[in-house]
Chain A
Amino acid sequence: GAVVSQHPSRVICKSGTSVKIECRSLDFQATTMFWYRQFPKQSLMLMATSNEGSKATYEQGVEKDKFLINHASLTLSTLTVTSAHPEDSSFYICSANRGGGYTFGSGTRLTVV
């Protein structure tokens, strides 16, 4: 079946630094991937749609200069949280579309200290 690998699973960084999260489709090509953020006891919030070879589409209220998305190949999308602050601490999850179905990564827990 379709597998999406997300790395790292957990990261702690200092305020002001940048963190990169990778999302890979392991056994299929994904022209479109999605990035979500989830705060404790809340639902997943869609941040952006990542399109291979073109710019990402961000949801309203999501700062594109803070959350940089790169989808340079058909199997890899990256999310970089730039100049991270404690309020960026959250659970970040990626998803890839395959023929109408959606497969999710296992998530990355980011803690900014």
Chain B
Amino acid sequence: DAKTTQPPSMDCAEGRAANLPCNHSTISGNEYVYWYRQIHSQGPQYIIHGLKNNETNEMASLIITEDRKSSTLILPHATLRDTAVYYCIALGIQGAQKLVFGQGTRLTINP
């Protein structure tokens, strides 16, 4: 699976949009971009995933560049409960492949 690179930490004001970048320059054509987050002392929570089109769900939006070498997770109106470590993972969709976590981005939402 392709390696991903994320900034180690970010801050965002409550109520503002949080934009979390991820670089995956070696991603292959059959690898999806997955985003998970982990709130302190809990199991990771699925947020969203996409292949090449932008995606939106009730939690977030995922913007993938046309060359697929990077993406941005957008939390449109961040709340204090969005404080967590966010992980961007490139993963092929064939079968039950291993989900390997990098260091992620520690997002802190400030009041």
Write the residues of chain A forming the contact surface with B, with a CB cutoff of 8 angstroms. Answer: 4, 6, 31-32, 34, 36, 43-46, 49, 91, 93, 95, 97, 100-107, 109
Contact = CB atoms under 8 A, between A and B. Distances in A.
Contact of B99 (A6, A95, A105): A95
B44 A49 contact: no
B96 A93 contact: no
A6 B98 contact: no
Given A34-B98, A46-B99, A49-B98, A102 B46 contact: yes
Secondary structure at chain A's binding surface: helix, strand, loop or mixed?
Answer: strand
B41 interface: yes
A31 B96 contact: yes
A49 B100 CA distance: 12
A43 B44 CA distance: 11
Contacts of B85: 43
User: What are the 7 closest A-B residue pairs judged by CB atoms, nearest first?
Assistant: A104-B43, A32-B96, A97-B96, A44-B101, A43-B101, A104-B44, A106-B43
Contacts of B87: 43
Q: Which of B46, B96, B100 has the most CB of A within 10 A?
A: B96
Contacts of B93: 100
A46 B98 contact: yes
Given A36-B101, A46-B101, A107-B42, 8 more contacts: A4-B43, A43-B104, A45-B101, A49-B96, A95-B43, A95-B99, A102-B34, A106-B43
